[in-house]
Amino acid sequence: MTTDTTTSAAPQPAAPGEPVLEARGVTMRFGGLTAVRGVDLTVHNSEIVGLIGPNGAGKTTFFNCLTGLYVPTEGEVRYKGSVLPPKSFKVTAAGIARTFQNIRLFANMTVLENVLVGRHTRTKEGFWSAVLRGPGFHRAEAASRARAMELLDFVGLADKADHLARNLPYGEQRKLEIARALASEPGLLLLDEPTAGMNPQETRATEELVFAIRDMGIAVLVIEHDMRFIFNLCDRVAVLVQGEKLVEGDSATVQGDERVVAAYLGEPFEGAPGAEEAAEVREAEAQAEATAGAPPADPTRDAAPGKETDR
Amino acid sequence: MTTQITAPETPSAPAFGAKASGLFGIPAPVGRALAAGGGVLTVAATFLAWTWTAEFPGDLTVYGYPGGLQVLVLIGGVLTTLFALASHGVRGVRRIAPAGADAAVKLAALGTFATAWYTVLAISVELGGLVNLEPGGWIVAVTSLAALVGALALPFERPEPDPVDPDSTAWEKTAHRLAHGWQTVKAAFASGSPRPLRELPSWAEILVVVAILALGLTVFTYGIGTSYDELFIGFLLLAGFGFAALNKAGLVAHATQITGRHQNVTLCGAFVAAALFPFTQTDDQYATLGVYILIFATVALGLNIVVGLAGLLDLGYVAFLGVGAYAASLVSGSPSSPFGVHFPFWAAVLIGAVASLVFGVLIGAPTLRLRGDYLAIVTLGFGEIFRITANNLDGTSGPDLTNGSNGISSIPNLDILGFDFGAPHSVGGFTIGRFANYFFLMLVVTAVVVLVFRRSGNSRIGRAWVAIREDETAALAMGINGFRVKLIAFAVGACLAGLAGTVQAHVTYTVTPEQYLFAGAIPPNSAFLLAAVVLGGMGTIAGPLIGAALLFLIPNKLQFLGDYQLFAFGVALILLMRFRPEGLIPNRRRRLEFHDAADAPAALGRTGA
């Protein structure tokens, strides 16, 4: 099932509630440093799960363990019941697609070509087929293009199919990366900070896009620092702190958890209602102190768009 | 003529508020008249004698018709005149400069001036003094200078100098002034973007394609047939500046557009034009150059799959050519082959290609796990290993297989279906000699390589190659089996080089290890192959072909460079990388990569490389 790489139709939606991704005790060590320690996470079918945590908590490392870029030191990751292969291209073929924290498009290829590259695992025309150009080649190529144009239409980039990816504005590059990931017909989509660097309108549009992807029957696991985005979007949120999962639950549970607030803010507040409010309180306090006009950083939105530790 | 006013729609006409003036303080109409008049007089002067003795090669002593270098100056003069008239806004002529004629006039005049003055100086130096010049020589020197002065007086928008930091040192101020001077010179030769090309009926466009190809064949044939150094230098000067002038006039952009619309016609036409080349030659002398250029170009094109598409820097590529050549020579029935078998050519081709393929996979499998510079170093090493191994398989240091440094010699000529490649044949009144025969055979191999390059480049596998080149991690995350895809590119490249090698063995009679160096004075070697790809333009078909032609012809024609050949080659490469890093024939992608979006369209008209 998961190793079937030749399906051309969209994957059959599994029964609701069936687990798509099961990570059990995932531990990743780099020498003496343990970046991820014994994390369990389950993503069910048609579910949007958020993964949050302060910078350096191991979110992206955990993502890389899920996508085969790293092989976990301990523990295992199952996708629809079978253990993930240790190579990232095999993971994609199995049905997990991802985007990157710092956009990694093929900058000098056109928008359409980027999506066509995403179709790689779902087509199988090899070198000889390309040189001999039989009828099968033309059929497959036309089908790939049609599917790619559909996806571009879905994310709203159809009119820019011939542009170079590098010439797209930032928000559209993010969208293109999602379209490229969708082209591999995944059952689970991993989004690594999809709204980093976006303005509120673009964030809102991305939210809609993620809901639409969920409605296609694709489970979504998303890392994000934008709390409003996460709590609007996710059915469940897991909090990762210092490589360990602190808490997991729906938005209200996580927002109300003192340990989460502590992890983000460094100290617990007496009766702190939630991370967001806590941030507002802190900001107000800082302004009250009015120390030489240095604006305090908003700790819940410390997105790091320039972070290059993607792999 | 001089009273005419600049056509207002000339793109290089000054915009309001911008400072526009020429490099000299001559009014623009006078400058234009001077350029046009100088051009006409230069053309006239080429019909005069320039020197009194036929000792200077090319016989420039005749009144009445031009000869040798005079023909080149004539062409330059005509170009200058035409562009000067277009700059005047003369109806009909204006069409030849869709991007504005001013910059084109400057370059054409510069080319004419350079060629004419080079000729005049060469006459004076070689024959010992200015007294050897006839009046025609003096006249052409003056008229071409006048045309140049007139052209440089044409107005252009001067760039505003950046404000100088008053605290900067004298050296910084000098550097600043120099930078501004350079900006001004660049602005003087800048031109606008060409007017959009009207859609012509397709028969007319195909006629244009045919004309372009005919022009290309003529220029190439002329260049290859230049029989003395002076003529070749003049040819290079004029061809370089002439091409730049056509480019600034916007004609090259239009030609690219038209050939892009009729890619298949252009490709077939190019092969027909190449096949016509031997018929333009009276003896086998230049067909020899033709077949060597074709071998070099074909191998460069194969390397372009590996380097240009998949982005794998292979510095030992010539080894695959060697494997193919050795494989073919061992089964060719050569007396120095230890096997002593004589296979038919198709079998030898198959063996050569398969041997190269196997060799490519054997080298690729362990090395392709490396990225970037490490891969380059390892392939460089393997290239040398091949050469040294071939040197040592001589029966004393190792098993007797390749006959050591003596190589496999006396490789017999091919005989395909009774057609003897060694003997001259008469086709329609033209004598087709030995090298011309091989030229046709090599053309078939080139066609195969072009076909493979084109079709694989624009397909699932080609996109995977480009994706790997762009970002390997992202490509892997998109489900591309990076190692497998890279190995295919490496093996295909090796196989195509082996294919060319099988023909090369028969053309050269002898296969020795010293033909397959990393760097040497004679192409093909790995360094020159890579240079041909980079110089011509990575990822294109025409680029490596033109790059290879230039890299072969220039050392071959300029024998007097002698020991300085490699030095000159290095300087030329550095200059090219500084001023045109995307190569002579840039891939549309590369052009976008190296230049701002401002001077390139944001969208590609068609998808695919």
How do residues B61-102 score in pLDDT, each as one tens digit?
777 778 788 888 889 999 898 888 888 877 777 777 787 788
Rounded CA separation B362/B389 (Å)? 15
Q: Is A88 within 8 Å of B476 when comparing Cβ atoms?
A: yes
Please report the pLDDT score of residue A97 as a whole number: 92
User: What confidence tier does B125 reach under pLDDT thresholds 50, 70, 90?
Assistant: confident
- Decide if pLDDT at B420 tops 90: no
Query: φ, ψ for residue B166 (rounded to 5)?
Result: -65, -20
Q: Is A120 within 8 Å of B592 when comparing Cβ atoms?
A: no
Name residue A223's beta-bridge partners.
A51, A192
- Decide if pLDDT at B356 tops 90: yes
Q: What is the pLDDT of residues B164-190, one digit of tens each?
A: 777 878 888 888 888 888 888 888 888
Q: Which residue has tokens 């480019």? A: B247
CB A42 within 8 A of CB A22: yes
Please report the pLDDT score of residue B589 as a whole number: 62
Region B600-606: mean pLDDT is: 42
Please report the pLDDT score of residue A16 as a whole number: 57
- Decide if pLDDT at B11 tops 50: no
Distances (CA, A) of A164 to A113, A136, B12: 9, 28, 29
User: What confidence tier does A176 reach under pLDDT thresholds 50, 70, 90?
Assistant: very high
Rounded CA separation B97/B434 (Å)? 44
A164 contacts in chain B (CB < 8 Å): 589, 592, 602-604
Please report the pLDDT score of residue A275 as a whole number: 61
- Report the residue from B461, B474, B590 with minimal CB separation from A100: B474
Query: φ, ψ for residue B470 (rounded to 5)?
Result: -70, -50
What ipTM was predicted for this assembly? 0.80
- Decide if pLDDT at B497 tops 80: yes
Q: What own/partner pairs with CB < 8 Å and gap ≥ 24 does B204-207 have? A: B205/B258, B205/B261, B205/B262, B206/B262, B206/B265
Region A283-297: mean pLDDT is: 59
- Structure tokens that stand for B412 in this block: 């017999």
State the nearest Cα–Cα gap between A231 and chain B, in angstroms: 28
Rounded CA separation B8/B59 (Å)? 45
Q: How many CA atoms lie within 13 A of B232 on its CB side?
A: 18
State the nearest Cα–Cα gap between B350 and chain A, in angstroms: 17
Region B313-332: mean pLDDT is: 91
B470 contacts in chain A (CB < 8 Å): 106-109
Task: Choose, out of B305, B470, B478, B492, the residue to mutate when testing the contact with A (most A CBs < 10 Å).
Answer: B478
Rounded CA separation B569/B562 (Å)? 12
Q: Is B461 within 8 Å of A125 when comparing Cβ atoms?
A: yes
Rounded CA separation A7/A30 (Å)? 37
Helices (H), ranges, A57-101: 59-66, 88-94
Rounded CA separation B197/B258 (Å)? 9
SS (H, E, C) B287-345: HHHHHHHHHHHHHHHHHHHHHHHCCCCCCCCHHHHHHHHHHHHHCECCCCCCCCCECCH
- Decide if pLDDT at B16 tops 90: no
Stronger pLDDT, B229 or B348, i.e. the higher one: B348
SS3 A24: strand
Q: H-helix or E-strand containing B135?
A: helix B135-152
User: What confidence tier does B300 reach under pLDDT thresholds 50, 70, 90?
Assistant: very high
Rounded CA separation B452/A277 (Å)? 63
Q: What is the pLDDT of residues A110-121, one digit of tens each?
A: 899 999 999 998
CB B87 within 8 A of CB B154: yes
Question: Exposed/middle/buried for B269, CB within 10 Å: 0-12, 13-18, 19+?
Answer: buried
CB B103 within 8 A of CB B191: yes
Taking each helix axis as running N to C, give the angle between helix B229-248 and helix B251-261, from 0 to 180 degrees, rounded to the nearest 10: 80
User: What confidence tier does A270 reach under pLDDT thresholds 50, 70, 90?
Assistant: low
Please report the pLDDT score of residue A278 as a whole number: 60
pTM score: 0.82
A122-126, A236-240, B379-383: which range is least confident on average? A122-126
Hey, how many other C-beta atoms are within 10 angstroms of the C-beta on A81? 11
- Decide if pLDDT at B608 tops 70: no
Q: What is the pLDDT of residues B399-417, one digit of tens each?
A: 888 888 888 888 888 878 8
Please report the pLDDT score of residue B15 as a whole number: 40
Rounded CA separation B137/B343 (Å)? 61
Stronger pLDDT, B550 or B93, i.e. the higher one: B550
Please report the pLDDT score of residue A10 as a whole number: 43
If interface means Cβ-Cβ distance under 8 Å, which residues of chain B face chain A? 451-452, 455-456, 459-464, 466-467, 470-471, 473-482, 488, 492, 589-590, 592-593, 597, 602-608
CB contact set of B314 (below 8 Å; sequence gap of 6+): B303, B306, B307, B375, B376, B379, B490, B493, B526, B530
Residue A160 identity (one-letter amino acid)? K
CB A11 within 8 A of CB A197: no
Region A2-30: mean pLDDT is: 66
Rounded CA separation B540/B585 (Å)? 7
State the nearest Cα–Cα gap between A28 and chain B, in angstroms: 19
Query: φ, ψ for residue B5 (rounded to 5)?
Result: -105, 145
- Decide if pLDDT at A12 tops 70: no
Q: H-helix or E-strand containing B213?
A: helix B202-224
Q: H-helix or E-strand containing B29?
A: helix B28-45
Rounded CA separation B25/A259 (Å)? 79
- Decide if pLDDT at B511 tops 70: yes
- Decide if pLDDT at A6 tops 70: no
- Which residue spans within B466-511 are E strands per DSSP? none
Rounded CA separation B488/B469 (Å)? 14
Region B480-484: mean pLDDT is: 90
Region B566-579: mean pLDDT is: 82
Please report the pLDDT score of residue B122 as a whole number: 87
Put residue A280 in one of left, alpha, beta given phi > 0 → left and psi -120 to 50 → alpha: alpha
Please report the pLDDT score of residue B599 as a whole number: 43
Question: Exposed/middle/buried for B412, CB within 10 Å: 0-12, 13-18, 19+?
Answer: middle
- Decide if pLDDT at A161 tops 90: no
Q: For A178, name the nearest residue in chain B, comparing CA atoms only.
A: B478
Region A186-206: mean pLDDT is: 90
- Decide if pLDDT at A294 tops 80: no
Q: For B593, name the nearest residue in chain A, comparing CA atoms only.
A: A108
